[in-house]
Amino acid sequence: MKNKPNIKYIAFDADDTLWDNEPFYRALEHVFNEIMLDKMTPEESSAELFKTEIANLPLFGYGAKAYTLSILETALRLSNDTLPAASVRKILDAGKQLTDSPLVLLDSVEEVLKALAPKYKLILATKGDLLDQERKLKKSRLEKYFHHIEIMSDKQTGDYKKLFQHLDIEANEFLMIGNSMRSDIFPVVELGGFAIHVPYHTTWKHEKMDDVGLPDDRFMEIDTLLNIPKECHWI
Ligand SMILES: [Mg+2]
């Protein structure tokens, strides 16, 4: 058996890894689909929304505000700028509700953080809107377990590199845990770190990627956070 790696830092993604997130976005999308129903099917309006979201990423980044703006933009485009003010209002109200969603921790989150915190430096590494994520973190009451909180505008290799430099971390002492193959797994493994994919039941299309080509000595999938301490042989 190979030597156990010398992992010192364990980083957690937040949305859909520590707490529910995607279902609230889907609820807002549903409001939009309903408004567009007289013009097209929900699948069609969702496909149009996805195009707008991807086009807006460089401008707005991730998070609830960006999402609400993309929905408004798509609704205006699909209605040839004839979207009734009442529908604009409905979208804005639902968008506000999204930023005020209840914070629901996923199963056993606190138990796992409590078990790992004495042995490793825990990091929270999440992307999205700063205010949005700060609010959620506060509601979660998990802040005390983390050595460092990093709210990133994106989670690509360059963003992780900056985090490593900032905290003086070597890639091979870093383990990332998250639900997104694109944001949490691929960039970290590419830099020489370790990654555990913990799938969530719903994933935004943009975050999905097949695990083809990932080395199994630095990548694994575990079905729930709770099983990480006993199933992950790196820690
Ligand atoms: Mg996530």
> Which three-class secondary structure state does DSSP give residue 87?
helix
- In the reported structure, the alpha carbon of residue 199 is separated from the centroid of ligand 1 by a whole-number distance in angstroms of 9
For 10-57, give the DSSP string.
Answer: EEE--BTTTB--HHHHHHHHHHHHHHTTTTS-HHHHHHHHHHHHHHHH
Model-level pTM? Answer: 0.91
Look up the CATH architecture of domain 22-99: Orthogonal Bundle (1.10)
CATH of 9-19+103-231, one of 3.40.50.300, 3.40.50.12280, 3.40.50.1000, 3.30.930.10: 3.40.50.1000
45-49 own/partner pairs: CB under 8 Å, 24+ apart: 45/74, 45/78, 48/74, 48/77, 48/78, 49/74
> At 48, which amino acid appears?
E
Q: What pLDDT does 2 receive? A: 62
Residue whose token pair is 């990423």: 57
- In the reported structure, the alpha carbon of residue 16 is separated from the centroid of ligand 1 by a whole-number distance in angstroms of 5
Q: What pLDDT does 102 receive? A: 92
- In the reported structure, the alpha carbon of residue 90 is separated from the centroid of ligand 1 by a whole-number distance in angstroms of 27
Short-list 213, 220, 171, 163, CA closest to 192:
171
- In the reported structure, the alpha carbon of residue 40 is separated from the centroid of ligand 1 by a whole-number distance in angstroms of 30
The mean pLDDT values, 10 residues at a time, for the chain of 235 residues are 86 96 95 97 98 96 94 97 97 94 93 96 94 94 96 94 97 97 96 96 77 89 93 93
d(C-alpha 157, C-alpha 183), whole Å: 9
Q: Nearest 5 degrees, angle CA 128-CA 174-CA 224? A: 70
Q: Which strands sit side by side in the sheet containing 148-152, from one edge to the other? A: 148-152, 121-127, 9-12, 174-178, 194-197, 219-221
Q: What pLDDT does 207 receive? A: 74
Q: What pLDDT does 108 receive? A: 92
CATH 3.40.50.1000 domain span(s) along the chain: 9-19+103-231
d(C-alpha 134, C-alpha 225), whole Å: 22
For 113-160, give the DSSP string.
Answer: HHHHTTTSEEEEEEES-HHHHHHHHHHHT-GGG-SEEEEES--SHHHH
- In the reported structure, the alpha carbon of residue 14 is separated from the centroid of ligand 1 by a whole-number distance in angstroms of 6
CATH 1.10.150.240 domain span(s) along the chain: 22-99
- In the reported structure, the alpha carbon of residue 1 is separated from the centroid of ligand 1 by a whole-number distance in angstroms of 32
- In the reported structure, the alpha carbon of residue 20 is separated from the centroid of ligand 1 by a whole-number distance in angstroms of 9
- In the reported structure, the alpha carbon of residue 183 is separated from the centroid of ligand 1 by a whole-number distance in angstroms of 8
Short-list 163, 144, 151, 159, CA closest to 127:
151
Q: What pLDDT does 201 receive? A: 84
Q: Which residues surround ligand 1, an ion (CB under 5 A)?
A: 13, 15-16, 179-180
Q: What pLDDT does 110 receive? A: 96
The one-character DSSP state at 176 is: E
- In the reported structure, the alpha carbon of residue 116 is separated from the centroid of ligand 1 by a whole-number distance in angstroms of 20
Q: What pLDDT does 212 receive? A: 79
